[in-house]
Amino acid sequence: MTGMTRRSFLRTTAIGGAGLVIAFYVPRRTVAAVAEPPKALPPPDAFLRIAPDESVTVLLAHSEMGQGIWTTLAMLIAEELECEWSRIRVEHAPAAAVYAHTVFGMQMTGGSSTTWSEFDRYRTVGAMARDMLVRAAAKRWKVAPDQLKAEKGHVWKGKEKISYGHLAEAAAKLKPPAHVTLQAPAEWTLIGKPVPRLDSREKTTGAAQFGIDVHFDGLRTALVARPPVFGGTVKSFDASAARAVPGVEQVVQVPSGVAVVARDFYSASQGRDGLKVEWELGPGAEVDTARLLADYRQLARSPGPVALEKGDCDAALGGAARRLEAEYDVPYLAHAPMEPLNCTVRIEGGRCEIWTGTQFQTNDQAAAAGIAGVPPERVTVHTPFLGGGFGRRANPRADFVSEAVHVAKAAGVPVKVVWTREDDIRGGYYRPMFLHRIEVGLDPQGVPVAWKHAIVGQSILAGTPFEGMMVKGGIDGTSVEGAVDSPYLGAIPARRVSLHSPRNPVPVLWWRSVGNTHTAFAVESMVDEMAHAAGADPLRFRTALLGSGPRHLKVLALAAEKAGWDQPLPKGRARGLAVHESFGSVVAEVAEVSVEKARIRVHKVTCAIDCGLAVNPLGVEAQVQGSVAFGLGPTLRSALTIKAGRVREGNFDDYEVLRLDEMPEVAVHILPSQERMGGVGEPATAPVAPAVANAVFALTGQRLRSLPLRLT
Amino acid sequence: MNLHVNGKTHEVDVPAEMPLLWVLRDRLGFTGVKFGCGMAQCGACTVLLEGEAVRSCITPASAVGSGKVTTIEGLSPDGSHPVQLAWAEVDVVQCGYCQSGQIMAAAALLASKPDPTDADIDRAMAGNICRCGTYQRIRQAVHRAAAMQRRATP
């Protein structure tokens, strides 16, 4: 389906009658009968197609990158539509304003927000389709719609039935309902039940199409030689050896470097190896992470913009019976999704067509339009499966898409730009390095009376289009989330959180669970230090402090109970815990560790999560297990170091991530909860580092304050 | 040269040192085989060569000779290999990108060790990285596949 937008495809099909489409042009006044109406009403476009072959195709406004929404959003529609689950097909929607996030306003996947933000819209779409199908059947039978019921893919009049496939065409011609009533939770047959993934088969047979698998006649592969330091530019280059490589067709300069365009990956990589490029390095060559950390330590002792202040922190610290102070630091991290970044672009006949695994369709569409010189509506974005995202494929600067459009434009042929693993790991857009300095004052009983917290690290949002909207008073909310909203701090009378956001040439970005990756480590480590200073059990100390956070108390209690917190462990093992709220969910984790020859081994992580309603508990369990694994990499191993501007790590041999032989048993307990629905893709990531660090302290007496944790 | 892939012989005109991975993907269209690292660190490119799991990203095309190559596309005609079935039953996949390699590594393991222990699985599968962190379910699914295989071959 090339050269044709999804929308025009839908229209053509509807008119041609080859496939029946229920296109939802939902009146803006349609309000679902729910306690809390959707913030944005289902927009006027197609979310659902029902075909004569009885297939029910759900269009996803978000990207499937492993988190399971391919299944979850389909469940929401199917719950209301009363279709047969086996008839469900799923497709990614094209880039279009109508698929904008119901809360964030742009088409995107992130912030662990897909399921809660679509909970009403997708159910409403299903209910509207059911209503139209029932009315179509009523017309055919010449009875009132309330004489009929919809069930198992058919509309029923007593024992007579007509299938949805047979009704779809007539239903599509009806006016969409102005009002629908959604099923009560007691009637749900899918929501809340463990439902296996719909994408298992294609992902276990090699059939699943990722961006890197896109192929069509005339498509070329390109690799780009990028500067060895961030912000560098091309001074000059000699492409003679590169051009001599069989299969290499063109060498073109683009803003990010020099692209070698060839008939396949192998030729392009051989060609790139043969390129001789002189670089203008610029200030990026000065970056040195060891020096940066030393600078951050200095900065943390100077006043910075205040993110949170209550009481007189300095006076309370001065008058405290006891003071603790500690610095915690975390390094730059690459996302390193298993599918290396790639983007396919074809510019032809005043149109630009893009195939790429993106979390940011409309953002990338706009960037591509600007470069290709066409209006955004003439840029088609196809989203294949994403081989992992973790935030890397949600770049406000649209780096990998923009670059590919530049290459296709310069080369004048359709091009797939592929990044190698080294390109990815050395390519920037990292979780920023951060330093936290925390000073705490305790009263004679060990109760905290002051919390003074300085955070130092680059702003993710600075310099992006989101800066104006999301950075307030010098505070990038993503740098302090998880600290300023910590219920522990709410319980301490004098508290201050300040932030320094130094700039440097290293590009940074959100990395699964964003600021929480470092704030949870710092806060939950310090709370543990306070517990030990007070001679208190870490669980009881937290419970006493968390008066204002009942959700925290519940998951803490559940995790502690399931982990057997008060049960003795064999010699050589110890437990540590952490609890943290992020993305609307609260997760407590108890880690059980041992140390063998200075090597930390994590044997078990017991998790309790309160995410409100768990739409698909099987998926929630998978996300929690996966988040723990993702968080354990940087807890135990992953770190990037930069010297003279060069990122020293380059592949999985030196940028180590968690492997199967280090995967602990992760037990996931979902708290039955009436709380507002939160996210599950990220919230279990952040608590694991402090839980493990706290366990290591319990076992060895060594308080490790740097990630990755290294025993001396 | 001639390559024997998934039961068919393919004639390809490629440099001798071209990695099997790129011959399979770019010349023969077996895109189920994945590129992840290019240096045998992640296992995404795992295929079977005469039944043994090999990293196709560092295997030169010329080293394959007359050996029979099996990719994920050729593991079973209809996705019914016990490992594939177990993967679906246990709901292993997330993004899915590494899973071709995981499945091929598991299939090779089960061919040589029909009833692997957790330690066997750790040894055989530690070379296959999954960034989504599906490892726990991979372990479960390997055991499940072993049980299925035992039932199928008494």
**Closest among A460, A464, A463, A454 to A476, alpha carbons compared:** A460
Predicted local confidence at residue A97, as pLDDT: 84
pLDDT bucket at A178, cuts 50 / 70 / 90: confident
For residue B31, give the chain A residue with the closest CA.
A213
A164 to chain B nearest CA, in Å? 28
What φ, ψ does residue A612 adopt, rounded to 5°? 70, -140
- Based on the fold, state whether residues B114 and B130 are members of the same structural domain: yes
- Based on the fold, state whether residues B62 and B90 are members of the same structural domain: no
B13 to chain A nearest CA, in Å? 12
**Closest among B125, B46, B44, B142 to B90, alpha carbons compared:** B142
Predicted local confidence at residue B154, as pLDDT: 59
Residues B6-29 pLDDT 10s: 999 999 999 999 999 999 999 999
| Helix segments in A4-68, DSSP class H | 6-16
In whole angstroms, what is the distance from residue A156 CA to residue A628 CA?
47
**Closest among A140, A139, A142, A160 to A151, alpha carbons compared:** A160
Predicted local confidence at residue A550, as pLDDT: 84
Cα A459 to the chain's mean position, in Å? 18
What is the number of CB-based contacts under 8 A between chain A and chain B?
A: 179
Burial of A106 (0-12, 13-18, 19+ CB in 10 A): middle
Check pLDDT > 60 for residue A486. Answer: yes
- Based on the fold, state whether residues B62 and B125 are members of the same structural domain: no
Check pLDDT > 50 for residue B142. Answer: yes
- Can you give the pTM of this predicted structure? 0.94
Check pLDDT > 70 for residue A467. Answer: yes
Q: Which H or E element spans position A200?
A: helix A200-204
Predicted local confidence at residue A329, as pLDDT: 98
Amino acid at A295: D
With an 8 Å Cβ cutoff, are A338 and B103 in contact? Answer: no
| Inter-residue contact A390 to B131 (CB < 8 Å) | yes
Sorted by sequence, the CB contacts under 8 Å of residue B36 that are 6+ apart come out as A338, A339, A340, A421, B42, B43, B44, B45, B57, B97, B98, B101, B129
Predicted local confidence at residue B151, as pLDDT: 87
Residues A492-524 pLDDT 10s: 999 999 999 999 999 999 999 999 999 999 999
Listing DSSP states for A444-469 in one string gives: TTS-EEEEEEEEEE--SSTTSTTHHH
Chain B residues with CB-CB distance to A197 below 8 A: 91, 93
B71 to chain A nearest CA, in Å? 9
- Based on the fold, state whether residues B26 and B46 are members of the same structural domain: yes
A211-282+341-418: in CATH 3.30.365.10: yes
- Based on the fold, state whether residues B26 and B66 are members of the same structural domain: yes
Predicted local confidence at residue A6, as pLDDT: 31
- Based on the fold, state whether residues B48 and B92 are members of the same structural domain: no
- What's the CA dihedral at A144, A145, A150, A153 to 10 degrees? 90
With an 8 Å Cβ cutoff, are A421 and B38 in contact? Answer: yes
**Domain tally for chain B?**
2
Predicted local confidence at residue A24, as pLDDT: 30
Predicted local confidence at residue B130, as pLDDT: 98
Quote the domain boundaries for residue B133: 82-152
Residues A287-339 pLDDT 10s: 999 999 999 999 999 999 999 999 999 999 999 999 999 999 999 999 999 99
Residues A102-120 pLDDT 10s: 888 899 999 999 999 999 9
The token pair that represents A685 in the structure block: 């990531």
The token pair that represents A548 in the structure block: 């204002």
| Inter-residue contact A548 to A491 (CB < 8 Å) | yes
- Based on the fold, state whether residues B15 and B64 are members of the same structural domain: yes
The token pair that represents A122 in the structure block: 């997708």
∠ CA A13-A18-A20, nearest 5°, is 65
Residues A392-416 pLDDT 10s: 999 999 999 999 999 999 999 999 9
A6-204: in CATH 3.30.420.40: no
Partners of A581 in the β-ladder: A586
- Beta strand pairing status for B2-5 and B8-11? antiparallel
Give the domain CATH number at B62.
3.10.20.30
Check pLDDT > 90 for residue A42. Answer: no
For residue B91, give the chain A residue with the closest CA.
A196
With an 8 Å Cβ cutoff, are B38 and A205 in contact? Answer: no
Sorted by sequence, the CB contacts under 8 Å of residue A182 that are 6+ apart come out as A32, A33, A34, A80, A120, A123, A124, A127
- Based on the fold, state whether residues B131 and B104 are members of the same structural domain: yes
A333 to chain B nearest CA, in Å? 13
Task: Inform me whether the C-beta atom of residue A482 falls under 8 Å from chain B C-beta atoms.
Answer: no
In whole angstroms, what is the distance from residue A541 CA to residue A527 CA?
8
% chain A with pLDDT above 90: 88
- Based on the fold, state whether residues B86 and B146 are members of the same structural domain: yes
- Based on the fold, state whether residues B94 and B64 are members of the same structural domain: no
Listing DSSP states for A65-129 in one string gives: SSSSHHHHHHHHHHHHHT--GGGEEEEE--S-GGG--TTTSSS---TT-HHHHHHHHHHHHHHHH
Say yes or no: do domains A6-204 and A211-282+341-418 share a fold.
yes
In whole angstroms, what is the distance from residue A97 CA to residue A375 CA?
14
- Based on the fold, state whether residues B93 and B146 are members of the same structural domain: yes
With an 8 Å Cβ cutoff, are A210 and B97 in contact? Answer: yes
| Inter-residue contact A48 to A58 (CB < 8 Å) | yes
What φ, ψ does residue A54 adopt, rounded to 5°? 75, 0
| Helix segments in B3-67, DSSP class H | 20-22
Residue A52 CB neighbours (<10 A): 15
**Closest among B35, B56, B49 to B5, alpha carbons compared:** B49
| Inter-residue contact A589 to A628 (CB < 8 Å) | yes
Listing DSSP states for A666-698 in one string gives: EEEEEPP--SPP---SSTTSTTHHHHHHHHHHH
- Based on the fold, state whether residues B63 and B96 are members of the same structural domain: no
Check pLDDT > 50 for residue A277. Answer: yes
| Inter-residue contact B81 to B104 (CB < 8 Å) | no
Last residue of a domain, one of B16, B42, B74: B74
Task: Inform me whether the C-beta atom of residue A296 falls under 8 Å from chain B C-beta atoms.
Answer: no
Predicted local confidence at residue A176, as pLDDT: 87
Predicted local confidence at residue B15, as pLDDT: 96
Give the domain CATH number at B102.
1.10.150.120
In whole angstroms, what is the distance from residue A242 CA to residue A411 CA?
15
Last residue of a domain, one of B33, B58, B74: B74
Residue-range domain boundaries for chain A = 6-204, 211-282+341-418, 289-333+430-700
Residue A85 CB neighbours (<10 A): 16
Determine the topology of domain A289-333+430-700 in CATH.
Aldehyde Oxidoreductase; domain 4 (3.30.365)
Last residue of a domain, one of B56, B74, B92: B74
